[in-house]
Amino acid sequence: MVQCILSRAHTSKLRSAAGIGCLILLMIAPASAGKRQRAGAEPSPPELLLEGGRKLSFERTFSSERDTRAKPGFWGKMVNVIAGEPDYKQLVRPYGIAVDSRGRLIVSDPGRGGVHIFDAQQHKYKFLERKETGKDPMLEPQCVAVDAQDNIYVTDSKSGKVFVFEPSGKYQGALGSLKGGEGYFKRPTGIAIDSGTQRIYVTDTLRDRVYVLDPQGRVLRTIGKHGSGDGEFNFPTELRVKNGVLAVVDAMNFRVQMFDAADRFLGALGNPGDSSGQVFRPKGIAIDSEDHIYLVEGLWGVVQVFDRQGQLLYSFGHRGTRLGEFQMPAGLFIDNQDRVYVVDSYNRRVQVFQYHGLRTKAGGAGQ
């Protein structure tokens, strides 16, 4: 009898050991497969070597919450084997992008009706939305911007408002929210914030003008009217402000117009056409540390780079699904380290590049 009990106990231990062994094998197998996949993974696009020792290099992509999370340890992997991996949020139809002082990527996603916050440094992720609310629901987030305190501003082209969130993601309020729930703007699209003056610039695409607001959302003045002359717009969309210069994508006039801090017209770049250096479907815009102007050409899937005089310096990308290629790219942002973030909308990802400008000091990049 005792021998029988011992035999059963021995068999139970063997089964437990076998079970643990199977779990370990299940964990090892995907890891090995992953190594093989990485070994044969798609190579990064080659560096783009530019005039004067400048260059542009590919860094990485963001497409889901997974890209910000730390790699799981042993027990984390075991839980994933048993219970399955978490349901990570994916980009669906990303459009606008901004990067705050912490290096967090803030990406609007009309396809999900909200805003993704990717924090790769802290391995954190957050999704902002306002669907289940009786007042000021966020319906179709379009473009995003951050102020000097990292507050997040989101234009909503459907509700006609600008939603404001604290850096933590807590909702603060909506600029342009009128009594009865209507929005002040017809179709707010682009948004940019001048941290020095605390002025908020919003394009109202259907009104063909740019609104200048104070931090409380009061309209201080407007820029432009419908037309094709200097300082006039035909469906203005995205815009950027840097070093006292406001650059506005004047979409259906197929150009970018530039204004000084007093709203005076400085010049324009771009001519309509489907050749290199011309503009056909302009989308996102950004400015690097050398005051080069980057403009997304949505239809061709390229980013064109101009100097302030409108001369084409170079371009990168073309239509496709591989790294360094784009399908209907939209938003664009350049941070203070000259990292270039391109929202690759139909490929459901953000691609990150590093621009290396002229070095004016030993070990430092030129400004």
d(CA 158, CA 140): 6
Average pLDDT across the chain, whole number: 87
CA-CA-CA-CA torsion sign (298, 301, 302, 303) = positive
pLDDT digits (tens, 9 = 90+) for 296-311: 999 899 999 999 999 9
In this prediction, residue 28 carries a pLDDT of 45
Residue 214 Cα distances to 161, 164, 167, angstroms: 15, 13, 19
Task: Supply the DSSP string of 299-343, one letter for each residue.
Answer: TTTEEEEE-TTS-EEEEE--BSSSTT-BSSEEEEEE-TT-EEEEE
Q: pLDDT-derived band of residue 40, with 50, 70 and 90 as boundaries?
A: low
pLDDT > 70: percent of the chain: 82
In this prediction, residue 86 carries a pLDDT of 72
In 97-254, where do the E strands start and end? 97-99, 105-109, 114-119, 124-129, 141-146, 152-156, 161-165, 171-175, 188-194, 199-204, 209-213, 219-223, 236-242, 245-250
Residue in the block written with tokens 């964990």: 27
Dig out the tokens for 82 from the structure. Answer: 């048993």
d(CA 187, CA 170): 24
| Strand, helix or coil for residue 33 | helix
In this prediction, residue 273 carries a pLDDT of 85
Mean predicted confidence (pLDDT) in 19-37: 43
pLDDT digits (tens, 9 = 90+) for 276-298: 889 999 999 999 999 999 999 99
Greater pLDDT, 16 or 150: 150
